[in-house]
Structure 1
Amino acid sequence: MPTAEGYPARAVAQARTLADMDARLVECRACPRLVAWREATALEKRAAFRDREYWGRPVPGFGPADATLLITGLAPAAHGANRTGRMFTGDRAGDLLFATLYELGLASRATVTGPDDGLELTGVRVTAPVHCAPPDNRPTPGERDTCRPWLTRETQLLRPTLRAVVALGAFGWQAALAALGEAGWSVPRPRPAFGHGARVPLPTADGSGAPLTVFGCYHVSQRNVFTGRLTPEMLSRVLAEAAHAAGLPVERRGG
């Protein structure tokens, strides 16, 4: 078992591929509060999932290593991805996200349940700035910063193909901009404010390689959907614009 102190930074320095990084990520124990919470939740379980074995570890990103579009949110849900082991699966927020990706022709399934359901994403990778489920779905700033090397390295490894990023929510927006700045893109100062529909082009800091565009979108949380702050149509519009910026063909299903 790797020692917790300095682990993310040491691990990402050795990761040469996304698969290698993900293998190191799932062993991370750098944040004691998150480790205790994710593991306790995996033991206690929710009544509806009493007969299921929970993942209970850090949750890696999901999607092809040559993705041109990256979607990043907040953190795994305690009884969602912390149970299934795959980002954004097992809860209502993920249901909406993947159903919309399916509608746009970017996912092979509209309904997803876990790693064995056959889901494949086309040109899209889904991740988060914090990879462990936090209490009350609220990671601390320190936990966010400790986890940042994973997102920074993930975007570095995607850099040859990455052309667009969708940040779900203000937390994801700020975390994404910080990681992209460390990964080699030039982020304006002061940092652009989050807003639904926000769109910020980022050139590379050294002038080499392709720029990318960061899109802001309200988070796909149940609260945002139930209150009407985010509608399926609003989400679909942002994801379609981001897919276009990423060079992905959008073929809406059902006409």
Structure 2
Amino acid sequence: MDALDDLDLRVSGCRACPRLVDWREEVARTKRAAFADQTYWGRPVPGFGPPDARLLIIGLAPAAHGGNRTGRMFTGDRSGDVLYQALYDVGLASQPTSVAMDDGLELYGVRITAPVHCAPPDNKPTPGERETCRPWLVQELRLLRPTVRAVVVLGAFGWQATLPALAEAGWQVPRPRPAFGHGVRVGIDGSDGSDGGGGPDGLDLFGCFHVSQRNTFTGKLTPAMLREVLSTAAQAAGLGK
């Protein structure tokens, strides 16, 4: 077992936030009618992707009947349908759908994670829950540091979690901290960039509207917009077609 596998195992056993523990387990017991014959994961959902990923995608939190059911980030819900189709379209995934842990999906140089690993009520974790969960993101960033060269953050909530996590993991985050926006690109120096030069492990940080149903149904985020951000980030990371 490598260090990232060990981290994922520890994440999946976390019970630090009582509200989230109660909710995720209640959803797993009661289920949605369409999934009544399935056994829900009902635990924190760890990151997904290779340990040497060059591109990291950071979302918000697992969906109650998506990742909380399947045990894999953005798997089994409509947000995931949009994200994995786009990843497939730009050459970063082996298939355009993600329905279950054993569906054969592979990501090419990409890892997907979230600042909150438990499904929250109404898809809205609290800032306090985000802070409680942040050490997991910090550890994940530290383990990915040798290879990760680009980060795409889906939504303002994730952006607000990612900037301090990057700083705590050793990167030089600009001050004042850059504001979130779709298409925003920020260069982040590596830890030895204090002399004004970018360190060898610097990265590019990208903002993207979240792949929520609200955003995709209203056209705030279109497939073309998502593909553009992912393609640009992949190029920055040295990936893609």
Question: Which residue of 1 is the match for residue 185 of structure 2?
Answer: 199
Note the C-alpha offset of 1:205.
2.8
Equivalents in 2 of 1:243, 1:37: separation in Å?
35
Q: Tell me the number of residue pairs that the alignment of Structure 1 and Structure 2 aligns.
A: 236
What are the ranges of 5 or more consecutive residues in structure 2 without an aligned counterpart? 194-198
Q: Structure 2 counterpart of 1:57, which letter?
A: R
Equivalents in 2 of 1:16, 1:109: separation in Å?
26
Question: Which residue of 2 is the match for residue 237 of structure 1?
Answer: 228
Q: Are residues 1:215 and 2:206 paired?
A: yes
Q: Are residues 1:138 and 2:124 paired?
A: yes
Counterpart selection for 1:90 from 76, 81, 94: 76
| TM value normalised by structure 2 | 0.96
Q: Are residues 1:100 and 2:86 paired?
A: yes
Equivalents in 1 of 2:162, 2:204: separation in Å?
12
Helix, strand or coil at the partner of 2:186: strand
Alignment of 1:88-167 (within 5 A): 88-167=74-153
Q: Structure 2 counterpart of 1:52, which letter?
A: Q
Percent identity, aligned pairs only, is 70
CA contact (8 A) 1:26 1:60 kept: yes
Q: Are residues 1:55 and 2:46 paired?
A: no
Q: Deviations over 1:48-93 (max 9, x none)?
A: 1111110000000000000000000100000000000000001000
What are the ranges of 5 or more consecutive residues in structure 1 without an aligned counterpart? 1-14, 251-255
Question: Which residue of 2 is the match for residue 10 of structure 1?
Answer: none
Q: Structure 2 counterpart of 1:178, which letter?
A: P
For the aligned residue pairs, the C-alpha RMSD in angstroms reads 1.1
Note the C-alpha offset of 1:16.
7.0
Question: Which residue of 1 is the match for residue 51 of structure 2?
Answer: 65
Equivalents in 2 of 1:87, 1:132: separation in Å?
10
Equivalents in 1 of 2:142, 2:37: separation in Å?
39
Note the C-alpha offset of 1:178.
1.3
CA contact (8 A) 2:40 2:69 kept: yes
